[in-house]
Structure 1
Amino acid sequence: MTVSANMQEEHIIRFENIVKRFGGAQALASASLEVRRGTVHGLVGQNGAGKSTLIKILAGLHRPDGGHIRIEGRSFDRLTPHLCEERGIHFIHQDRLLVPNFTVGESLFLGQETRFAGTPFLNRRAMQRRAEELLANYFSVELPRNALIGELSTAERQIVQITRALLRGPKVLVFDEPTAALVRPEAEALFRLIRRLRDEGVTIIYISHYLNEIEQLCDHVTVLRNGHTVASLPIGETSAQAMAGLMIERDIAEMFPKRRVELGEEILNVHGLSAPNRYEGVNFSLKRGEVLGLTGLLGSGAKDLMRTLFGLEPAGSGEINIARKAVKLRDPARAVAQKLALVPEDRRGHGVSLDLSVSENITLPNLGRYTRFGFLDGKRERSDTGELIRRLGIKTSGRDALVRTLSGGNQQKVAIAKWLGRQSEIYLLDEPTVGIDIGSKIEIYTLIGELAARGAGVIILSSDLLELVGITDRILVFFRGRLIREILSSETTTDEVLSISTGVSEGLRRVS
């Protein structure tokens, strides 16, 4: 056998220069991934770097537009889910993908039921015995066979999903953000299992934003940025800080408009706010004219806090004060009455109504201003919406155009325009520029500056760290349900924020 053949067989998975486009957007431009047999291989990159697209190509859910795929030395034009299963590649997904009203036993053997030889009858005893052996051997647990998946904890549901994969004798297991919703002891148990599987010859691909986990657990790491593979390194030759640096690019000064706003009086104060299993003991304030950033990994509690502030999820304890008065934000209507506005991350699902016009979307939260005795004042509506369209630079064929015909950036502007019409005083922006082009991003950054300049308080939840450092005054960093650091944006870097939010930075301290 030649040396090149030996090298080829050493890699169980080899992706070379993978290209993938979705319409005019290029998700992967030149992405490569080479995974050695019997190793734990980390895959990292910021949101939008191309990790999910690359893994969906591996799962057979997307077909690449270019590049080469080799599995165990064999070339493929594309993969399919059935082919992946035949080749022993299985996925432990972040959202668990289990049927809530199935029992543990039904979930474990769904699609691979054991039957009595020569009959269509299920051998339930054999299936249960095999499941109990795996659960005891790998997890040292015993799950009630008749318990419903929906009744299990997050860790227990993950155990069921991993056990399903182990029943198939996997060669490769892909873990997608497996510890996002786990507490520390559960995460440590998962790490021990992954190391054991590696020692038994199973190859692991481990995707995580927690770079300290990558550093501790993996043998090799691939870093993606903007659809390109920018590095593929042995863990012994890199560090979590170095990985963070490879994930970041661009000069902040080139992207973010400068603003000078004198901060006013305190408009929002949160004290001791807690919600069981989501976040605890959160304290912070917001002033008029201030842009406050929130960030943290999935499951950190930052997004849950935003939902609580808009009345979508209740807090268990603590206080919310607006303009120095205690308020109970039990539902969105009460939040809106307190002049709060939420621009959600899923603008198409929750931020705008795609089948209504631009004008109708902007008017929707403000109908009381345009109706009298049940009749709509069309002249005033047209005048006000036209002014907002001009002010925000919404690119549309007209105020009567359906929102679904607009680009993502312009849909986001419509979602913001809705609340400008109500003259809100506190804006909650959840990932305000996700999925939009750089030109639209800069326009939205400018708009955020204008909101602050007129005295509104703005809270931005974003996983784009360049964005946070570039446009905010302060940044609050959440980690596993706790607010652990408050940073002045002018005195920090994206590397530092990333290190704190991924648990790399030592001496994490809780903000009191």
Structure 2
Amino acid sequence: MSDITEATGRHTLRMKNVVKAFGGALALDRANLTVERGTIHGLVGQNGAGKSTLIKILAGLHHADSAEISIDGVIEPRLTPSRAETLGIHFIYQDRLLPPSFTVGEALFLGHEPVVAGSPLLNRAKMREEATRLLKSYFDLELPVGALICELTTAEKQIIQITRALLRKPRILVFDEPTAALVRREAEFLFRLIRRLAQEGVTILYISHYLKEIEEICDRVTILRNGRDVATLDLAETNADEISRLMIARETENLYPARIAKLGEPLLTLRGLSVSGKFHAVSATVRRGEVLGLTGLLGSGAKDLMRVLFGLEKATSGDVVLGQRTLSFNTPREAARARLALVPEDRRRHGIALDMSVRENTTLASLGRFLRFGLLDTQAELESTNALIDRLQIKTKGAGSLLRSLSGGNQQKVALAKWLGRDTQLYLLDEPTVGVDIGAKAEIYGLIGDLTARGASVIILSSDLDELIGVSDRVLVMFRGRITRELVSSNTTTDEILAEATGAREGLTHVG
């Protein structure tokens, strides 16, 4: 393992021999992290490897049992959140921590609000103007700055959080899965911004499960495994395959399982489906046993289409035919009764209940199966949960563990397990591997293959184009509210999908 000596005086951040245990379980076992000034340094590892714990110690949210932490060569005996901010260390977390009832402008300037000259009144007009200017400057995006945070999409919330951090002129900027909710165009804007910040002397610590991003943007990378740093490598001398091998200590060539499901008759047919202002005249078919990929930029209508299919939004025209029946889902309950399931992108807000147990989450969508004369058969419920824990290899201390105690990948497995207890025929998966490590991704891909082998169908909406090609039979690309292309996954490339998704094939949009 290569290292940077203190004698060079070039490191901005050094965390040495960090030890942290929770209830007897060792989360960090003498872990080390050294980051050079003005560089982009990657931090990777499977869920549970210790990344989050290490970053929370840096943020002052956890205190190490023992460690030596220095910033610009000065030892910091006890970091706190306020001390970290004073030192110029700012964080962009995977969870978008923004007040839902605030407007975009209010959220951006929270704690640093401009006021009307000579008065204590907030200058809301200036906040709106500055918010518009900053979002255009940083991301070349125009968002409704007067809208409430709760009205924004996941990607828009992520952009607001990033912009808010940049306003504080950070010295060390920590990105925790910053592109998890961003499509490729938005990610490219972010990468250019990160490179510019590094050139201006900002030190970047970049945490991501997307190893191609690490390979593309970082100068060096530290790999954690089981609470220890197993390597720190120069990206000029390594690649994503080597990083994957070090993360999980095994080869990962077979990340995407071979498609062996036999396709049957049409299960779902969409005929001219439209929602005013969002998408128009969408027609498509999904066959039994098929994995259909769906992708598009923010605002393309792809996410709105998934919402309509599960009854979260009402179509203004067109037909949804399931089997031989023309249906119109007004509520998710109706969609579930028709044997549809949705695993949403923002699992923490919409897919699971963090303060309920694994058992309660797993059986939440199928409680009727366990009712006996109006009473819950807890033994049968527990047996069903344990069977799903084994089947999905969910890493938990037991069915009674609170869901918030599980890693992101295992939380996602529980979000899937919730629907496996029902007789589901069509699974709608919205960014199913966002924020999970490569090992958990492989297990989720395997589960998708198992579902289709048993005759179920899957629609997977993803901005990870390699993922779409790897797991699906066909890919539908949406652009400005319409399906512009249907591609056979085995005969296409990520460049071809990206060209369709951005309109570049028609000369409509230039990316990069």
- Taking structure 2 as the reference length, what is the TM-score of the superposition? 0.62
**Number of the residue aligned with 2:352:** 349
**Number of the residue aligned with 1:6:** 7
Are the counterparts in 2 of residues 392 and 447 from structure 1 also a CA contact under 8 Å? no
TM-aligned CA deviation for residue 106 of structure 1: 5.2
Are the counterparts in 2 of residues 274 and 315 from structure 1 also a CA contact under 8 Å? yes
Q: Which amino acid aligns with 1:364?
A: L
Match of 1:364 among 367, 371, 377: 367
TM-aligned CA deviation for residue 390 of structure 1: 6.9
**Number of the residue aligned with 2:196:** 196
TM-aligned CA deviation for residue 10 of structure 1: 1.1
**Number of the residue aligned with 1:83:** 83
Q: Which amino acid aligns with 2:339?
A: K
**Number of the residue aligned with 1:330:** 330
CA distance in 2, matches of 1:43, 1:19: 17
CA distance in 2, matches of 1:427, 1:42: 34
Pair 20,252 (structure 1): closer, same or farther in 2 beyond 3 Å: same
TM-aligned CA deviation for residue 86 of structure 1: 1.6
1:175 counterpart = 2:178: no
CA distance in 1, matches of 2:185, 2:413: 40
CA distance in 2, matches of 1:317, 1:234: 54
TM-aligned CA deviation for residue 277 of structure 1: 11
The SS at the match of 1:222 is strand
- 5 Å-filtered alignment, 1:445-460, equals 449=450, 455-457=455-457
CA distance in 2, matches of 1:158, 1:411: 20
Q: Can you give the 5+ residue segments of structure 1 that lack an aligned partner in the other structure?
A: 397-401
CA distance in 2, matches of 1:285, 1:196: 45
CA distance in 1, matches of 2:479, 2:154: 15
Are the counterparts in 2 of residues 352 and 415 from structure 1 also a CA contact under 8 Å? no
Are the counterparts in 1 of residues 38 and 202 from structure 2 also a CA contact under 8 Å? yes
Q: Which amino acid aligns with 2:54?
A: L
The SS at the match of 1:206 is strand
**Number of the residue aligned with 2:218:** 218
TM-aligned CA deviation for residue 199 of structure 1: 2.7
Q: Which amino acid aligns with 1:40?
A: I
Pair 243,334 (structure 1): closer, same or farther in 2 beyond 3 Å: same
After superposition, the C-alpha distances for 1:194-225 in whole angstroms (9 at most, x for unaligned) are 33332322222233455555444433333445
Are the counterparts in 1 of residues 352 and 361 from structure 2 also a CA contact under 8 Å? no
TM-aligned CA deviation for residue 89 of structure 1: 0.6
Among all aligned residue pairs of Structure 1 and Structure 2, give the percentage whose two residues are the same amino acid. Answer: 44
1:53 counterpart = 2:53: yes
TM-aligned CA deviation for residue 147 of structure 1: 4.4
**Number of the residue aligned with 2:137:** 139
- 5 Å-filtered alignment, 1:112-127, equals 112=112
TM-aligned CA deviation for residue 80 of structure 1: 1.6
Are the counterparts in 2 of residues 222 and 232 from structure 1 also a CA contact under 8 Å? yes
Are the counterparts in 1 of residues 359 and 382 from structure 2 also a CA contact under 8 Å? no
The SS at the match of 1:38 is coil
Q: Which moved more, 1:164-173 or 1:311-320?
A: 311-320
1:389 counterpart = 2:390: no
- 5 Å-filtered alignment, 1:63-462, equals 63-65=63-65, 67-76=67-76, 78-94=78-94, 96-102=96-102, 107=107, 110-112=110-112, 139=137, 147=146, 150=149, 164-165=164-165, 168-182=168-182, 187-225=187-225, 227-239=227-239, 243=243, 247=247, 250=250, 264-269=264-269, 287-288=287-288, 290=289, 292=291, 308-313=308-313, 320-342=320-342, 349=352, 364-365=367-368, 376=373, 386=380, 389=383, 393=387, 404=400, 420=421, 423-426=423-426, 449=450, 455-457=455-457
TM-aligned CA deviation for residue 168 of structure 1: 4.2
Are the counterparts in 1 of residues 385 and 399 from structure 2 also a CA contact under 8 Å? no
The SS at the match of 2:60 is coil
Are the counterparts in 2 of residues 485 and 508 from structure 1 also a CA contact under 8 Å? no
The SS at the match of 2:329 is coil
After superposition, the C-alpha distances for 1:295-354 in whole angstroms (9 at most, x for unaligned) are 999989998776554333556887644225443333222213322345775698359975
**Number of the residue aligned with 1:399:** none
The SS at the match of 2:352 is helix
Pair 267,29 (structure 1): closer, same or farther in 2 beyond 3 Å: farther
After superposition, the C-alpha distances for 1:392-437 in whole angstroms (9 at most, x for unaligned) are 74799xxxxx9746997899789858865x64444557869x999x
Are the counterparts in 2 of residues 11 and 36 from structure 1 also a CA contact under 8 Å? yes
CA distance in 1, matches of 2:417, 2:457: 14
TM-aligned CA deviation for residue 469 of structure 1: 12
Pair 330,170 (structure 1): closer, same or farther in 2 beyond 3 Å: same
Pair 332,33 (structure 1): closer, same or farther in 2 beyond 3 Å: same
Pair 212,349 (structure 1): closer, same or farther in 2 beyond 3 Å: closer
Q: Which amino acid aligns with 2:367?
A: L
CA distance in 2, matches of 1:15, 1:197: 22
TM-aligned CA deviation for residue 81 of structure 1: 0.7
Q: Which amino acid aligns with 1:42?
A: G
Alignment length (residue pairs): 471
1:62 counterpart = 2:62: yes
Q: Which moved more, 1:143-152 or 1:302-311?
A: 143-152
Are the counterparts in 1 of residues 267 and 323 from structure 2 also a CA contact under 8 Å? yes
TM-aligned CA deviation for residue 13 of structure 1: 0.9
The SS at the match of 1:97 is coil
Are the counterparts in 2 of residues 268 and 320 from structure 1 also a CA contact under 8 Å? yes
CA distance in 2, matches of 1:217, 1:411: 27
Are the counterparts in 2 of residues 44 and 222 from structure 1 also a CA contact under 8 Å? yes
The SS at the match of 1:329 is coil
User: What is the alpha-carbon root mean square deviation over aligned residues?
Assistant: 6.5
CA distance in 2, matches of 1:102, 1:54: 31
TM-aligned CA deviation for residue 243 of structure 1: 4.6
Are the counterparts in 1 of residues 16 and 68 from structure 2 also a CA contact under 8 Å? yes
Are the counterparts in 2 of residues 269 and 322 from structure 1 also a CA contact under 8 Å? yes
CA distance in 2, matches of 1:286, 1:251: 33
CA distance in 2, matches of 1:476, 1:142: 27
**Number of the residue aligned with 1:38:** 38
Larger-gyration structure (1/2): 1
Q: Which amino acid aligns with 1:173?
A: L
The SS at the match of 1:56 is helix
Are the counterparts in 2 of residues 44 and 207 from structure 1 also a CA contact under 8 Å? yes
CA distance in 2, matches of 1:242, 1:350: 36
Q: Which amino acid aligns with 2:205?
A: I
Q: Which amino acid aligns with 1:64?
A: A
